[in-house]
Amino acid sequence: MAPVARQAFIGVGANLGDRWGTIRTALTELARIPGITALETSAIFETAPVGVTDQPVFLNLVVGIETTLTPEELLVKLLALERAAGRQRDKETRWGPRTLDLDLLLFEGEKRTSPQLELPHPRMWERAFVLAPLKDLLEHNIRFQLPCWEELCHRLETANISSKGITMWTPPK
C-alpha cells in the first residue's frame, strides 16, 4: 500500500547574500524532492530580525506541502537544503544572520518532542514573521483548508499578530 500524503508547513527565511535567489533555489529544490507531491507558498514578507537585531532584514514566507515523507525524513531534507545554501548551523550565532533557514512548523497529525524535532514548532506563536505568512497561506489557498487545520485557522484569526517590522515584499521582475 502506498504511503498517504499529509500536509506540512515550513517556515522559510534568509537575510544574507541574495536572499530571494537563495529562497527561490531552495523552493525549486524542495519541489524536486521525491515524496513531496505539492508545494504552495504564502506571500513574501520582509521582516526585522528578532533576538540579535544588529543584522540585515530577513525575507520570510511559509511553504505548505503535501508529502509522503515522515517528519524526520522531511527534516533531514530541509537541513540538507540549508547546507547546500551555505548554512553552517554549528558555527552560527543563535538567532543570528543566515543564508537560509527552513523550519518545520507543523505536520498533519503529528506531535513530537525530541532533541532533533519538536512539532508543532515550539516558538511559532511568538513569531509574527511566521504567523503572518502562515495566516496568508491558509487564507488564500484552498488546498490547506482541511478540517485538520480548523483549530489552527481559528487561532490565527484571533491571534494578535504584530505588524511591527513586517512588510509585504515583491520579488524583482
Catalytic residues, which ones?
A: 87, 98, 101, 103
Query: How far, in Å, CA of 3 to CA of 67, rounded?
Result: 9
CA distances to 2, 55, 149 from 76, rounded to whole Å, are 21, 27, 24
The alpha carbon of 62 is separated from its chain's Cα centroid by a whole number of angstroms, namely 4
CA distances to 28, 45, 117 from 70, rounded to whole Å, are 20, 28, 12
Q: Beta strand pairing status for 101-107 and 6-14?
A: antiparallel
Query: How far, in Å, CA of 131 to CA of 162, rounded?
Result: 9
Grid cell digits, residue 48:
526585522
Buried b (16+ CB within 10 A) or exposed e, 24-56: eebbeebeebeebeebbbbbbbbbebeeeeebe
